[in-house]
Structure 1
Amino acid sequence: MKKLTLFLFSLAFVFAGSTATAQVANKILLSNATIIDGDAKIAPRKGSVLIENGIISKIRFGKTIKTGKDVTVIDCSGKFITPGMTDAHVHLATLDLSDMQKARKITDSILYNLLRHGITTVRDMAGDARFLNVLSKSAEKENLHSPSIVYAAQFAGPEYFEMMNRGRKGTDGKSPWVRSITDTSDIRKAIAEAKACGVTGIKIYAELSASLVQQITKEAHAQGLLAWSHAAVNPALPLEIAEAGVNSMSHAGDLLFQQFPAGTDLTKVWGAIYKGLKADSAQIFPVLQQMKNHHIYFDPTLFHNLNNKLTNAAVIARWANRLGVQMVAGTDWVYPTTNEAVPLMNELQHLVLDAGLSNAAAIQAATLNGARVSGFNDRGLVRKKMRADLLVLDADPLEHTNALFSPSMVIRKGNVIRF
C-alpha cells in the first residue's frame, strides 16, 4: 500500500504566490471520513471512498475497504467528504479580450482561486464562446487547476442590443453566442449555430415575448441543450417563462415583474421596486408553484440582489424554499484573482439566513442541484459510479457552510490537489 507521501506523479502549479500540488493516481482510498452525500435527505455516515481512474468505484460505511499495494491510501479520520461545489452563475468571458495573453492570465488565476475554495464546476451564463471553449477544453485536458466549465449562448430581442449600444460600440447580436432574436428569426438555425460553439444551454435574456421563450425552449430541448432564463424577460412575464418549461430561472428580484402588465417600461418597473414596492404573494406564488411543477431550478443570486438593494429577493427566495422549489447556488458576482474569500460563500450564507435553507439543503444547492442545472449527471453526489469531484474538509459543513470553502484537499477527476 502506498503512503500519501509517495506520489505516483506530482505537479506543482504556482500562481498568485501559492503552490498547489496535484497527486495523480489510478487508485485512491479516502478512509474513515464522515461522508456527506450531497442529497440533503441522506444522513451523514462514517465510511471510506475508493476512487479508480477518476470514478468512485466503492463506498463502504462502518468498515474500511481492503486494498492492494496499487492503492494510495489517505487517512481522513476526523475529516468530512462532500461533493465538489458548483457556482451556477458566473461570467468568465466578459473581460477585455483584446490582449488574449493577459485575459488568459487573469482568468486562469480566477479559475485557480475557484478550485482552491472547493468549486469544481462553474456554469458561465454568457460571454465570448470562443474564449470559453478554450477554457473548457483546457479544464478537461491539461489544466488540473481549473473547475469544469459549461457555458451559454445569450438570446435577446433587438431592443436589448439597441439599448446596450447607445452612446458606445457594442455587440450587434449577430454572433452565434450573442444572438438577436425576432419573430422572423430561424430559431432552429440560431440554436444549431450556438450548439456548434460548444454551449450547454441557451440563456433567455431580455426583450422576448412569451411565444419566443416557448419556441426557444422547445427547440433548445429538441437539440439536446438546456434553456436557462432570467426570471423576467419582459415582455414575457415570470409566469409565462415558468410555463414554457425552462430548466432554470435566475434572480429572485426579477419575479417582481409579475406584478406589472407585460411590456411595462423597464424604468417604471425598476423605479417602483427601488421606491419600496413589496412582493405580492398572490402574484408571486403561482409563478413559484409552476416552477415547482415543471422542476425548474431557481438561481436566486441573493448575494447579488441584496448588494443591489433588492430586498424583496430574500422574501421571494424564502417563499420558494417553503414551497419546495429546487434551489441552486449562483453568484453573478466578480471573483477575485488572489486567495480571497469567494462570493459563493456569501451566497450560501444568504440561502441559509435569508431563504431559510438548512445547511444540508444549502450544500445540496451548491453540489447536487448545481451539477444537475449545469447538465451533469455524473457528479454532485458522493456515490458509486460518480466522477470523483470531491472535497475533504477539516470541519463539518453541516455545522457551518463556511467549512466548505477551506478544503484540506480538492479532488477533481480523481486527482488529489492540495493548496
Structure 2
Amino acid sequence: MIKIKILMSLLLWQVAVYAQTPASILLKNATIIDGDANVKPFKGSVLIKEGKIYSISAAVPKTIDAKTRVIDCTGKFITPGLMDSHVHLGTGDLTDLKKAYATTDSIMKNLLLHGITTVRDMAGNAPFLAECKKKVQEGKVPGPDMYYAAQFAGPGYFAMMGAGRKGEEDLGKTSWYRSISSKADVKPAIADAKKAGVTGIKIYASLSKELIREITNEAHQQGLLAWAHGAIFPSKPMDVAQSNVNSMSHANDLVFQQIKGDTIEIGAAWAQLYKGLKLDTNVRDQMLSEMKRRGTFLDPTVFHAENNKMVNAALITRRANELGVKIVAGTDWIFPSKNESVPLLDEMKLLAVKCGMSNLQVIEAASLNGALVTGLKDRGVVRAGKRADLLILNADPTKSLETFDQPEFVIQKGKIVKK
C-alpha cells in the first residue's frame, strides 16, 4: 500500500500541468489579502477574465456567465502569487544543455507548484535563461515568469574567478558576464546586455564608486534597472546607496560601511567580520536612512546569512523595516528539483521571527515589493486590472506563514495550476 501511494505521488508530480481553464473564473467568498501591507484583509469575490483580475466585489455577482468556473473559497484566503527576488537558475554546469534544461525545468515546476509565480534571477547565462523564460511563456514548461540580470564587475573579480564555470569559459567577455575597466566600457556593455534580454544590471564587485554611478546612470538611461551587492569591494555600502541603485542585496554586507577608510579590501573586511566585528548602530542607521531617502530596496537574504553564521543580517533587516526601508524576499539559495518545500518559505519565516516584520509585511516583501524592484506594475497585488497571479490558501497566512507551503490552488496569468 505504501509503495502504491509513493508511486501515485510520483505520477502526480510528473503530470503536474495547467488545468483546462475556462476563459473566466469566479473565486467567491474569500478573505482577500491585497499584497500591500497597509491594506487590511477583507471579504470578497474575485472575477478573472482573460488572464487578468476583471473585478473584485464585496458580494458574489448576481449574474454569472454559464461558462464561468466558480470556486467556493468560503473559509479560504487569496493572496498574490509569490516572488523570489534572488535566484540563480543559470549558473550550473552547462556542458550538457539537455541535462541542464531538464534539471532547471524540474526546479521551475517545483517553484510554481509552491506558489512562486515570478522570479528575479540575479545573474546567470543569459541565452540559457532566455530559453527557460520562453518555454514558460509558451506553455511548454510550467514555471514562474522570469526576469534576469547581467553581472558587471571589474577585471580583478574575473581574474580571481579564473577559467570560469563549466560550459562558460569566456567569463567576463560575454554580454551577461561583463568585465568593466573604464567609463568607456559602460555604454556599449549595457547596450549588449539589453540585447541579451536582461531587465537589470547586477553591479557585483571590484568597481570604484565612480564606475558604480556610471553603470547605474547608463542602465537607467537605457531603460534598465540597477541591482547591486551591498558592498562592491573596494567600494563601501554608502557609495553603492548614493549611486541611486534600485536595490542592494545581502543585508550582512552593510556592516562593512563601518570599517575605517574610503575603501575596503575584501579579504581584510571579511577577516574582521569573522573575528566578531560588532555592529555600530549609528553607522547602520545612517546607511539605512540613506537607502530610505533614495527609495532603495533591501534584498536581505536572511536565510542565506543565517546558514553562514552572519548574525548581522537579521539585525540590520529588522532596523531597516523599522525605518521604512522597503524589503524584498529573496533567497540566493539552491532550490530543490523535486516536489519539496522551497527556501523562500524559510526566508519569509525569518523575516517574521528574526526581523520583526508582521506577516502582512512579509507577504508584501514576497509579492508587491518583489514586483516593484523588478519594474513590474502589472502584478503583486490583488486588484482589478492586474495580472491574475494568485494563490488560494486553506489557512490564514496572517496567523501562520506555513500555509504557503501547500497552496490549494496556484493561478498564474488566469490559468489554474494543479498538482
Q: TM-score, normalised by structure 1?
A: 0.94
C-alpha spacing 1:241/1:110, structure 2 compared with 1 (3 Å): same
Runs ≥4 in structure 1, deviation > 4 angstroms? 13-18, 166-171
- Letter of the aligned partner of 1:302 in structure 2? V
User: Which of 22, 25, 32 lines up with 1:28 in the alignment?
Assistant: 25
- Letter of the aligned partner of 2:84 in structure 1? D
Q: Supply the distance in 1 between the matched residues of 2:183 and 2:172 (Cα, whole angstroms).
A: 15
In the TM superposition, residue 139 of structure 1 has moved relative to its aligned partner by 1.4
- Once the two structures are overlaid, the 10-residue window that deviates more, 320-329 or 253-262, is 253-262
Q: Supply the distance in 2 between the matched residues of 1:144 and 1:58 (Cα, whole angstroms).
A: 29
Map 1:6-405 → 2, pairs under 5 A: 16-17=13-14, 19-64=16-61, 66-143=63-140, 145-165=142-162, 170-260=169-259, 261-405=261-405
In the TM superposition, residue 356 of structure 1 has moved relative to its aligned partner by 0.6
- Letter of the aligned partner of 2:298 in structure 1? F
- Letter of the aligned partner of 1:88 in structure 2? S
- Letter of the aligned partner of 2:395 in structure 1? A
| Preserved CA contact (<8 Å) 2:105 2:141 | no
| Preserved CA contact (<8 Å) 1:128 1:177 | yes
- Letter of the aligned partner of 1:337 in structure 2? S
Partner deviation per Cα, 1:184-221 (whole Å, 9 max, x = no partner):
53311110000000000000000111111111111101
In the TM superposition, residue 14 of structure 1 has moved relative to its aligned partner by 6.1
Q: Supply the distance in 1 between the matched residues of 2:253 and 2:142 (Cα, whole angstroms).
A: 35
In the TM superposition, residue 20 of structure 1 has moved relative to its aligned partner by 4.0
| Preserved CA contact (<8 Å) 2:163 2:171 | no
Partner deviation per Cα, 1:52-87 (whole Å, 9 max, x = no partner):
100111100144453121211111111110000000
Partner deviation per Cα, 1:363-390 (whole Å, 9 max, x = no partner):
0000100111122100000000000000
Q: Supply the distance in 2 between the matched residues of 1:334 and 1:168 (Cα, whole angstroms).
A: 17
In the TM superposition, residue 294 of structure 1 has moved relative to its aligned partner by 1.0
- State the partner residue of 1:7: none
| Preserved CA contact (<8 Å) 1:16 1:109 | no
> Alignment partner of 2:110: what SS?
helix
| Preserved CA contact (<8 Å) 1:48 1:65 | no
Gaps of 5+ in 2: 1-9
CA RMSD in angstroms comes to: 1.7
> Alignment partner of 1:329: what SS?
coil
> Alignment partner of 2:74: what SS?
coil
Q: Supply the distance in 1 between the matched residues of 2:398 and 2:57 (Cα, whole angstroms).
A: 21
| Preserved CA contact (<8 Å) 2:163 2:170 | no
Q: Supply the distance in 1 between the matched residues of 2:388 and 2:213 (Cα, whole angstroms).
A: 36
> Alignment partner of 1:186: what SS?
helix
C-alpha spacing 1:297/1:184, structure 2 compared with 1 (3 Å): closer
Percent identity for Structure 1 against Structure 2: 51
> Alignment partner of 1:185: what SS?
helix
Q: Supply the distance in 1 between the matched residues of 2:374 and 2:341 (Cα, whole angstroms).
A: 23
- Letter of the aligned partner of 1:293 in structure 2? R
> Alignment partner of 2:75: what SS?
coil
| Preserved CA contact (<8 Å) 1:15 1:109 | no
> Alignment partner of 1:155: what SS?
strand
> Alignment partner of 2:124: what SS?
coil
Q: Supply the distance in 1 between the matched residues of 2:13 and 2:338 (Cα, whole angstroms).
A: 6
> Alignment partner of 1:161: what SS?
helix
Q: Supply the distance in 2 between the matched residues of 1:166 and 1:269 (Cα, whole angstroms).
A: 26
Q: TM-score, normalised by structure 2?
A: 0.94
| Preserved CA contact (<8 Å) 1:156 1:204 | yes
Q: Supply the distance in 2 between the matched residues of 1:210 and 1:138 (Cα, whole angstroms).
A: 38
> Alignment partner of 1:87: what SS?
strand
Q: Supply the distance in 2 between the matched residues of 1:272 and 1:76 (Cα, whole angstroms).
A: 53
- Letter of the aligned partner of 2:16 in structure 1? T
- Once the two structures are overlaid, the 10-residue window that deviates more, 21-30 or 172-181, is 21-30
Q: Supply the distance in 2 between the matched residues of 1:136 and 1:154 (Cα, whole angstroms).
A: 18
Partner deviation per Cα, 1:208-238 (whole Å, 9 max, x = no partner):
1111111111110111100000010012211
- Letter of the aligned partner of 1:309 in structure 2? K
Q: Supply the distance in 2 between the matched residues of 1:317 and 1:396 (Cα, whole angstroms).
A: 25
In the TM superposition, residue 171 of structure 1 has moved relative to its aligned partner by 4.2
C-alpha spacing 1:37/1:416, structure 2 compared with 1 (3 Å): same
In the TM superposition, residue 166 of structure 1 has moved relative to its aligned partner by 7.6
- State the partner residue of 1:417: 417
Partner deviation per Cα, 1:157-206 (whole Å, 9 max, x = no partner):
01101111189985441100000011253311110000000000000000
Q: Supply the distance in 1 between the matched residues of 2:263 and 2:243 (Cα, whole angstroms).
A: 18
- Letter of the aligned partner of 2:352 in structure 1? V
